[in-house]
Amino acid sequence: MNMSWSYAVLSAKAAKWAYYDSAEAKPKFKTLGFTTHRFLDNDGAQVHLCSNDDTALIACRGTEPKELNDLIADLNTIPKRHGPGFVHSGFRGEARKIWNSVHTFAKKHKDKKIIVCGHSLGAAMATYIAQELKWAGIDNITLYTFGSPRLGNDDYVDAMSVPHWRFVNNNDVVCKVPPSIIGFRHHGELKYINYYGNIRKVTRWQRIKDQLRGRWRALCKFQLFDGAFDHSMDLYLNKTEKAEKQK
């Protein structure tokens, strides 16, 4: 399946707006053509559920540094047995808080195209939810994630079947956790955004060189936290919109 750039941009906007509360987010999602909007907040896990005549959208909110609940979820890396493998306990726990409502929403719209998206913690939650919906027999799902950490181990990732496009911006530090050395692995087709803001297929060596270039240029600008800077959802949105215009 080929990726839709229009849906990628829509998902990037939704992942950004997922950080807004209901009153601010509703008119934003309306500009994308969604006629219904519902915001859920269950014990610190948040998601926006939107729909129109042919599309349903599930946009998970990412980490908010001031929210203790989010920080605890990020740090709870203890692997938990789930399905065919193991997943990150904290990410799974946050996704499970909203699972029943999301599942009910998806079943209601199962004959439409369903887009699931998120940034940071929200990306990990979106990945878990999208695959759970797939295993629950809901097929019309596509997943777009931005700055996602790793969710599961080899067995879990190998069993996943949801179409997934995973955007990584240069030196985004969140994409490097939890570390692969303790068994976690990424899922999805990588869309790597290089130092120049272009989305290119790159070899491992080309990616290493590009990341070194990004770090060096950041140091030259006295930008000491390049990996955190590259995690900005604003940057992901700007560069995804730029890539769409170049297609």
- Closest by Cα among 199, 204, 212, 219 to 12: 199
pLDDT at residue 144 in the model: 98
- Residue 179: cis peptide before it, omega within 30 degrees of 0: no
Those residues of the chain that have pLDDT short of 50 are 65-68, 70-72
Domain boundaries along the sequence of the chain: 5-246
pLDDT at residue 71 in the model: 45
Q: Secondary structure of the chain: what % helix, strand, coil (to 5)?
A: 45, 20, 30
Task: Answer yes or no: are the C-beta atoms of 1 and 239 closer than 8 Å.
Answer: no
pLDDT at residue 73 in the model: 53
pLDDT at residue 193 in the model: 96
pLDDT at residue 68 in the model: 45
pLDDT at residue 70 in the model: 46
What DSSP character marks residue 177?
A: -
Could you give the CA distance from residue 235 to residue 121 in angstroms, rounded to a whole number? Answer: 17
pLDDT at residue 76 in the model: 64
CATH class of 5-246: alpha beta
Contacts of 194 (CB under 8 A, 6+ apart): 170, 200, 202, 210
What DSSP character marks residue 181?
A: G
Read out DSSP for 109-120? TTTSEEEEEEET
